[in-house]
A and B are shown apart, each in its own frame.
Chain A
Amino acid sequence: MNEAIDSLHTQTGSAPIGTLDPDCLIACPNCDALQLDAPVPVGALARCHRCGTVLMAPREQAMTRIVMLAATALVLMVAAVFFPFLEISAGGMVQRSSLLDAVLAFSSGLMLPLTFATAALIIVLPSLRLASIVYALAPMALGWHPARHAVPVFRLAQALRPWAMAEIFIVGVAVALVKVAGLATLSFGPAFWTFSALVLVTVLSDTFMCRISVWKTLEERRQP
């Protein structure tokens, strides 16, 4: 299905590549090797001929899918924050906690900075990242010109990627459940399922994302 495009290299094997126009070249972000910037067919995979890093992997209708999935994830995030997340009962006492409660757990004294960090990692940064993806790419999906400041906004989305830790939080929830299991009975609130769906949708959206193709589209559409 995914055939590697090695022709990038064979075309340049003998030509003095340094004399070529920089606009028809692409440099591997990981190893700096120059290669011809040949068009990559939809569904194919272009790898760097030296280090094997995937340079481009354009998918069919990628823009529309990314935007739709990111918008879905944003809606799910709103629901996940406000509905009850987990419910615990022991000895007749019931404790409900929402995602916000989990975040505010560190809100005493020295732990306060950790409150902000947790809030950022599991709510603010994922939401900001999804919102910037929608903002930068929605006009692309509709075939319009890019929105104002689409370039810095998409750069922000890329920079936020390692710091948006919603999926790690879900694994944390699973571990916490096992730890509490001996102590009390637990049940999931609606927000737990919403948040899990959000993680799945985000991952799905990221698999369609090919950053070099997105940057190229943004660049092309900027031309009047």
Chain B
Amino acid sequence: MTTSAPHPIPPAITARQAGLVGCQGCGKVHHAGVSVCQRCGAPLHSRMPGSLQRVWAWLFAGIVVYIPANIYPMLLTTSFGRTTENTIVGGVMDLIDYGSYGVAAIVFLASVVIPVGKFLAIGYLALVVRDGSRIGRGSGLHGRQHLFEVVEFIGRWSMIDVFVVAILAALVQLDFAATISPGIAAVSFSLSVAFTMLAAQSFDPRLIWDAEEGTAR
């Protein structure tokens, strides 16, 4: 990384300040007004139009479908004529009862901690990048950038529990002894994961760094 030189780093010039547009797919710089990247063919926007509206819309959709995902059963286990229903948290409890703490931790992390953390993180980022909140150069921006990268990377791992249900339901069809079938929560949970992934993808990370531009102006 940058060595601590005696002279401070001059503020960066952004493509927007220079009257240019940078491609988010391949980094190629174009004159403003060009609408399609000449290198990779992606649509060009100085900032993604309506980025924050789309983030909020997908985020709320994700939160709304996350509620039934936790109330309704994820797994229906029929063993010797008795059917038991398991919600997401119930499944974690069962794993703890079996003594598999490690796996219980993985499931709890993937189905509860990561989704909820993602709601909070995306909401936080969408709130702080609004035009009103300018902060000093460099302070906290790397942190926000880092948070966004983590959210983008980790979001898809929430799908673990849905795949577990799919495998169990396919595998455990042993007639009378035990049968496992998926519950309706599997659908709403996967929708929640997909919606929050779309929320993260709609977020334009360049908005994070515009806060710096605000103080320089």
Contact = CB atoms under 8 A, between A and B. Distances in A.
Nearest to A18: B18
B25 A30 contact: no
B30 A22 contact: yes
Contacts of A175: 103, 106-107, 160-161, 164
B170 A110 contact: no
Contacts of B156: 162-163, 165, 168
Nearest to A151: B41
Contacts of A194: none
A25 to B, nearest CB: 4
A173 interface: yes
Contacts of A179: 91, 94-95, 103, 164, 168
Given A31-B209, A49-B9, A215 B39 contact: yes
Contact of A168 (B23, B145, B163): B163
B84 interface: no
Contacts of B175: 93
B184 to A, nearest CB: 6
B181 to A, nearest CB: 8
A102 B95 contact: no
Interface stretch (B49-57, B120-128, B200-208): B200-208
Given A106-B166, A180-B171, A184-B174, A31 B206 contact: yes
Contacts of B28: 26-27, 215
B182 interface: yes
A22 B29 contact: yes
A155 B40 contact: yes
Contacts, number: 231
Nearest to B20: A22
A158 B13 contact: no
B178 to A, nearest CB: 6
Contact of B171 (A93, A168, A176): A176
A105 B179 CA distance: 12
Interface in B134-181: 141-142, 145, 152, 155-157, 159-175, 177-178, 181
A175 B159 CA distance: 12
Contacts of B116: none
The 10 closest A-B pairs by CB, nearest first: A27-B22, A172-B163, A18-B18, A215-B26, A105-B169, A31-B209, A33-B12, A105-B170, A176-B167, A22-B29
Interface of A: 4, 6, 9, 13, 17-18, 22-23, 25-34, 47, 49-53, 55, 86, 88, 90-91, 93, 95, 97, 101-106, 108, 110-111, 113-114, 117-118, 121-122, 151-152, 154-155, 158, 162-163, 165, 168-169, 171-176, 178-180, 182-184, 211-212, 215-216, 218-219
6 contacts: A29-B205, A86-B171, A95-B172, A108-B181, A168-B163, A212-B26
